[in-house]
């Protein structure tokens, strides 16, 4: 496994955020985003108006939510590089992808079966597989390219959350993991359609490499479970 020292753009003493804190920041941003998405009328109050029109509380909440995905992708790369068992890590993501599909379908289509889109756990699972096959076929470029194209095709077919761009973003985060300045620059360009997401690279570059307070399996699974649980709660509130 090739783990090199990060070339950071932040002084070491300024790196104060553990992986657990980053995960909590991403979680809070996601909850804010999804709350606004499912209940837009509740947050229709205008905050200010500029040349592009009125900006509401809903607008602000959705932009705060854009920070979640880049942070989760960064943590996925860190988890892939440092986990003791990649098979269990991949299985955990896949299991929660399947579990989350029920509240995802109910929330987005108000029915149990909805194949037009899939939840973000599928995106993360495919991204993990992408990093895995990239390393596995490191000595065989042809197989490496074929495997990555196949995973990209699966991402397109499933129409998982963030689509092919989500898969591509994860692979970019992995490829530039040791070049933090370049990673941030490319990442901001990658997310140009949702430029606010570029702010996620501020907490990402404040990461200190430590695991943090999420150490027990119970707490780890609780953080995973919040995703399907909160989707189901929002569905019940808005149905």
- CB contact burial 53-83 (16+ within 10 A = b; e otherwise): eeebebbbbbbbbbbbbbbbbbbbbbbbeee
- The pLDDT tens digits of the residues spanning 112-149 come to 888 788 999 999 999 999 999 999 999 999 999 999 99
Beta bridge partners of 49: 54
Please spell the DSSP secondary structure of 93-106, one letter per residue: HHHHHHHHHHHHHH
Whole-structure pTM value: 0.92
Mean pLDDT across the chain: 91
User: Can you list the positions of beta strands (E) in the chain?
Assistant: 46-50, 53-56
pLDDT band at 7 (very low <50, low <70, confident <90, very high): low
Residue 70 near residue 199 (C-beta atoms within 8 A): no
- The pLDDT tens digits of the residues spanning 47-71 come to 988 887 888 999 999 999 999 999 9
pLDDT at residue 145 in the model: 95
Residue 47, classified by CB atoms within 10 Å of its CB into exposed (0-12), middle (13-18) or buried (19+), is exposed
């Amino acid at each position: 496994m090739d783990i090199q020292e990060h070339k950071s753009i932040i002084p070491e003493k300024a790196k104060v955020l553990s992986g657990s804190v980053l995960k909590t920041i991403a979680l809070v941003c996601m909850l804010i985003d999804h709350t606004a998405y499912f209940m837009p009328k509740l947050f229709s109050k205008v905050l200010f108006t500029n040349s592009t029109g009125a900006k509401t509380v809903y607008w602000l909440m959705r932009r705060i939510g854009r920070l979640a995905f880049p942070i989760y992708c960064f943590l996925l790369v860190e988890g892939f590089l440092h986990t003791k068992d990649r098979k269990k890590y991949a299985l955990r993501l896949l299991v929660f992808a399947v579990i989350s599909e029920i509240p995802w379908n109910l929330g987005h289509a108000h029915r149990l079966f909805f194949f037009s889109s899939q939840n973000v756990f599928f995106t993360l699972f495919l991204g993990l597989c992408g990093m895995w096959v990239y390393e596995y076929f490191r000595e065989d470029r042809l197989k490496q390219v074929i495997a990555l194209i196949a995973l990209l095709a699966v991402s397109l077919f499933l129409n998982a959350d963030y689509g092919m761009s989500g898969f591509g973003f994860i692979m970019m985060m992995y490829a530039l993991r040791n070049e933090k300045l370049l990673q941030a620059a490319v990442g901001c360009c990658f997310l140009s359609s949702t430029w606010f997401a570029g702010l996620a690279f501020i907490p990402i570059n404040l990461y200190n490499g430590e695991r943090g307070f999420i150490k027990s399996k119970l707490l780890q699974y609780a953080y995973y479970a919040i995703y399907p649980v909160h989707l189901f709660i929002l569905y019940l509130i808005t149905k």
